[in-house]
Amino acid sequence: MWRYLIRRLLELVPTLIGVSIAVFLFIHAIPGDPARLAAGQDATMADIQAMRARLGLNHTLPVQYLYFVRNALHGDFGLSFRQQVPVLQVIKEHFLPTLLLSTSAIVIAFAFGLLAGVLAATRRNSMADLVITAFSAAGISIPSFFLGILLIYLFAVNLHWFPVTGSSSVRGLVLPSVSLALAPLATIARFVRSSFLEVAGEDFVRTASSKGLGYAAVTYKHALRNALIPVVTMTGLQFGFLLGGAVVIETVFNYTGLGWLLIQSIGFRDYPVLQVLLLVFALEFMLVNLIVDLTYGALDPRIRYG
Amino acid sequence: MASVAATPRRERRGQDLWRRFRRHRSGMVGLALTTLFVLMALLGPIVRPYDPAQPDYLNLDAGISAAHWLGTDNYGRDIFSRTLVGARYSLSIGVLATAFSSLIGSLWGLLTGYLGGWFDTLSGRVVDIMLAFPGLLLAIGIIAIAGPGFRNVILATTIFGIPIFARLVRGSALALKERTYVEASQALAASPGRIMFRHVLPNILAPILVYITLRIGTVILIAAALSFLGLGVQPPTPEWGAMLSEAQLYLATDPLMAIAPGVAISLAVLGFNLLGDGLRDVLDPRIR
């Protein structure tokens, strides 16, 4: 297990280096002179020269990259163009709200997706199955931002149950997390249904019923537990995508998380912040995928890490 | 492996597939929806009752009426006409970007899967890096560099889709490489190009086609999200995502401004998703 973990972490290194190069080059791919942007609107030629030296832009690209990595390892990502404070500080302020939003969304998606999927699978071809199947087809097609706007119209503008803008309070979190949860919920429900039906046809489930175990024991202990393995992977993947989806939902609800910050930074051409945000999102996504792989073994004793 | 069969059998296979597809209820719903939206995209700008850009200051935020089927927006523009014309933007982005990314991605996957070696290792890394950015983040990053607008949305969504096709095709090519008939052609000294395009590619067309259909829906969704965020097609262009973004401010007084383009996106994406699922069930029951 430990050996496997270390191997998986080492395997991430090349991708990580690649991502850091991509993110580093990002700021150089922007049309225009970063020194001029950093120095501000009414900077003189001398200011811009000074800024160029301060940003290390007079070195060659590979040298600049090494400086970038060295500084990054020290937690130094430079200053935000807009606020003139360290980038990491800006990002820290917006990290917790996004974590809160995406976690509550994935909890909703997993709980209700699992419930709906099992319900549909155990009552195959019934009315409930039909409704759930139709719902999950709709769920992956409705854009989250449209759902968000509909929910705002119904529950905030008309019924006044929830505030129009999202916040980290419980009431402020409901509408944005439901909007964000719909697509992964539908995907998970769909996946649980097919995974469950597949497992239900396997030999060990038939063995379990033929040795006289009750319906509940067969369904929940044998079939569901085995059907859950791919579902966990799917949920992890969905959590990763959800991090991307949060960008749109945070904008709809004016929820000041990382996604909101991302769009703001594009608007203000705050490239240092943008650069680190892309890095943070990629890191989170890679980490989630790693955790998903590791959970595998905990659920399926057949998988042994060599 | 019917694709290597002679023409008459291939024709019969086509009829057989159509017969099976016709019985696939949700697939047929998808086909009907996509046909409707394709017609909208082709004919919308011709049959629209009003000029989608023409303001009418005597008729601001009007409700549903015989003259304006879906009411008017904050400039008095006809919402029905705008939604109708909007199909052309969303569908052309969806179809063009998916066509480009499937072509480039499939070629890339075919080359790496079939040739293998250091080229495969290196390109696998590049794919990993591109897929390391969750959801639409890669597309947003590209837009941040290239700037907003119709053409850059196509560029961003194309690049966004390439690694997905590359990975799909690479996997299938890798599996097919070991098949006896491919080994037989190798023994007959057929060129790698011939083997790739005559023997490997035809046998992975089915999953590629399914993916293309499903991708068009995803691209429409991503493009609408980009426009909604102000990074894609810009208002006053009647693109659905851009319309939704404008509508947010008038939600309390004119909800139809948001509902019309929102429902249009949802139905268009639903259509391509259902069609793709149906095609998958009929063409290749093994992939799920």
The interface pTM score, or ipTM, of the predicted complex is 0.84
Nearest to A248 among B128, B225, B258 (CB): B225
Please indicate if any CB of chain B lies within 8 Å of the CB of A65: no
Average pLDDT, chain B: 84
Chain-chain contact of B248 with A138 (C-beta, under 8 angstroms): no
Q: Does B86 have pLDDT greater than 60? A: yes
- Higher-confidence residue: B285 or B45? B45
Please indicate if any CB of chain B lies within 8 Å of the CB of A150: yes
Q: Does B287 have pLDDT greater than 60? A: no
Nearest to B273 among A29, A31, A140 (CB): A140
Nearest to A281 among B134, B143, B258 (CB): B134
Question: What's the token pair of residue B243?
Answer: 């319309």
For the CA atoms of B41, B216, A175, A279, the dihedral, rounded to the nearest 10 degrees, stands at -130
pTM listed for this prediction: 0.86
Chain-chain contact of B141 with A138 (C-beta, under 8 angstroms): no
Which helix (DSSP H) or strand (DSSP E) does residue B66 occupy? none
Question: Residue B212 and residue B102: Cα distance in Å, rounded?
Answer: 7
pLDDT tier at B95, thresholds 50, 70, 90: very high
Question: Residue B288 and residue B284: Cα distance in Å, rounded?
Answer: 9
Q: Are B102 and B208 in contact (CB under 8 A)?
A: yes
Nearest chain B Cα distance for residue A301, angstroms: 25
Which range has the worst mean pLDDT, A66-70, B32-36, B241-245? A66-70
**A·B CB contacts under 8 A:** 126
Nearest to B132 among A29, A141, A286 (CB): A286
C-alpha to C-alpha distances, A237 to A81, A228, A293, B131, nearest whole angstrom: 34, 14, 10, 12
pLDDT in the model for residue B5:
47
Chain-chain contact of B288 with A194 (C-beta, under 8 angstroms): yes
Nearest to A149 among B137, B140, B258 (CB): B258
Residue A79's beta-bridge partner residues?
A86
The DSSP symbol for B148 reads S
pLDDT in the model for residue A142:
92
Mean of pLDDT values over B109-116: 84
For the CA atoms of A5, A7, A9, A11, the dihedral, rounded to the nearest 10 degrees, stands at -150
How many C-alpha atoms does B151 have within 13 Å on its Cβ side? 2
pLDDT tier at A29, thresholds 50, 70, 90: confident
pLDDT in the model for residue A185:
92
Q: Are B139 and A266 in contact (CB under 8 A)?
A: no
Mean of pLDDT values over B239-263: 88
pLDDT in the model for residue A78:
80
Q: How many CB atoms lie within 10 A of CB B104?
A: 16
- Give the tens place of pLDDT for each residue, A80-97: 877 778 888 888 888 888
Question: Residue B73 and residue A149: Cα distance in Å, rounded?
Answer: 16
- Higher-confidence residue: A228 or A257? A257
Nearest CA in chain B to A253: B248
pLDDT tier at A301, thresholds 50, 70, 90: low
* Residue of A89, A250, A103 lying closest to A176 (CA atoms): A250
Please indicate if any CB of chain B lies within 8 Å of the CB of A5: no
Nearest chain A Cα distance for residue B133, angstroms: 5
Which range has the worst mean pLDDT, A243-252, B8-17, B238-247? B8-17
pLDDT in the model for residue A212:
72
pLDDT tier at B269, thresholds 50, 70, 90: very high
Q: Are B124 and B138 in contact (CB under 8 A)?
A: no
Please indicate if any CB of chain B lies within 8 Å of the CB of A170: no
Nearest chain A Cα distance for residue B96, angstroms: 20
Q: Does B2 have pLDDT greater than 50? A: no
pLDDT in the model for residue B10:
63
- Give the tens place of pLDDT for each residue, A128-179: 888 888 888 888 899 999 999 999 888 888 788 887 777 777 778 889 999 9
- Give the tens place of pLDDT for each residue, B223-233: 999 999 989 89
Chain-chain contact of B258 with A153 (C-beta, under 8 angstroms): yes
Give the rounded percent of residues in chain A with a pLDDT score beyond 70.
Answer: 94
Chain-chain contact of B269 with A141 (C-beta, under 8 angstroms): yes
